[in-house]
Amino acid sequence: MQFSLVATDKQSKARAGVVQTAHGAIETPIFMPVGTAGTVKAVHQRELKEDVKAEIILGNTYHLYLRPGLNVLEQAGGLHKFNGWDRPILTDSGGYQVFSLAGTRKIKEEGVKFRSHIDGSSLDFTPENVMDTQRIIGADIIMAFDECTPYPCDYTYAKNSMERTHRWLQRCVDRFDSTEPKYGYDQTLFPIVQGSTYKDLRVKSAETIAGFGREGNAIGGLSVGEPAEMMYEMTEVVCDILPADKPRYLMGVGTPANILENIALGVDMFDCVLPTRNARNGMLFTTQGVINIRNKKWADDFSPIDAELGGYVSTFYTKAYLRHLVHSTEYLAGQIASVHNLTFYLWLV
């Protein structure tokens, strides 16, 4: 993987660049639609390419490990072949599930023991087997196995967790560098900065992660409930340390305002379930502001969903029709709204 800076902003730390991968180029800043279980919910691959203009999507190691399972993915030739997406894919290592499934997991030095949310069976994730799993999934960008700490989080816990994440990173790097890609194309490993909302821990973690010299770096453990200003403060601290000639990925962020603020701080890559999750609940992000399509005011509004945005669904369907679909609980409502919101996010960045 290679990253080249194309331009920098004189008024902020924002920059534009290009990430070159085996499955094509990614122009940054970029928003990456989340396809947790091998699909961006309710959106065809053709729509992702032609309407949304997505350049990279996400998969999730924990969920793909459970379903469809590694045997199926390996037989298919990896996730690209399995779901028909021929552009880059990034996989989250399962570190976020260490946070989100806190009630059904145990963390030890060796790794994390999960209880499957599907059938309750026991799963062991270690830095080594998470690298192997992501190799089999076939992601272009593989994330290190880490612990995403909650907010609030006391200092001692945050420090111990960060230090374990660094030890796990060394094991991830050792395993990754001693194994080969499965399907004949290059893969790359991104380490993840942790440290909760403590500046000294974030500085330490950013310096440690930068010292590994990988092709890109990620910032984790933010957008987990902390105030937005605190997120921006931590992001700025970390971006000032992470090397400028490598892409910076802020995990799980966020709202349009979050994304714009963090671009101004020097972040290049983003992902979040917000545009698709909110779409399924009737919240639309538009060039004219946020609207709740469920509201009665749209019942007889026959203007396009967002004429300024462009794209098929945003200009073809009317607000009144989409509101009708939502109130009728038609599946098409979630599909139209999801494609629209993702189109907005890609337009925004």
In 10 A of CB 173, how many CB atoms?
18
Catalytic residues: 92, 271
Six-digit token string for 48: 């992702």
Q: Which one-letter amino acid corresponds to residue 59? A: G
Among the listed residues 19, 26, 30, the one whose alpha carbon sits nearest the alpha carbon of residue 347 = 30
Q: Burial code of 292-312, b = ≥16 C-beta within 10 A, e = fewer?
A: ebeeeebeebeebbbeebebe
Among the listed residues 82, 104, 187, the one whose alpha carbon sits nearest the alpha carbon of residue 143 = 187
Six-digit token string for 169: 């990173």
Among the listed residues 30, 29, 35, 61, the one whose alpha carbon sits nearest the alpha carbon of residue 47 = 35
C-alpha neighbours within 13 Å on the C-beta side of residue 123: 24
Query: Is 212 buried (19+), middle (13-18) or exposed (0-12) by CB count in 10 A?
Result: middle
For the chain, the C-alpha Rg in angstroms (whole number) is: 20
Question: CB of 111 within 8 A of CB of 127?
Answer: yes
Strand order in the sheet with 122-125: 105-107, 112-115, 122-125
Cα–Cα distance for residue pair 169/162, rounded to 1 Å: 10
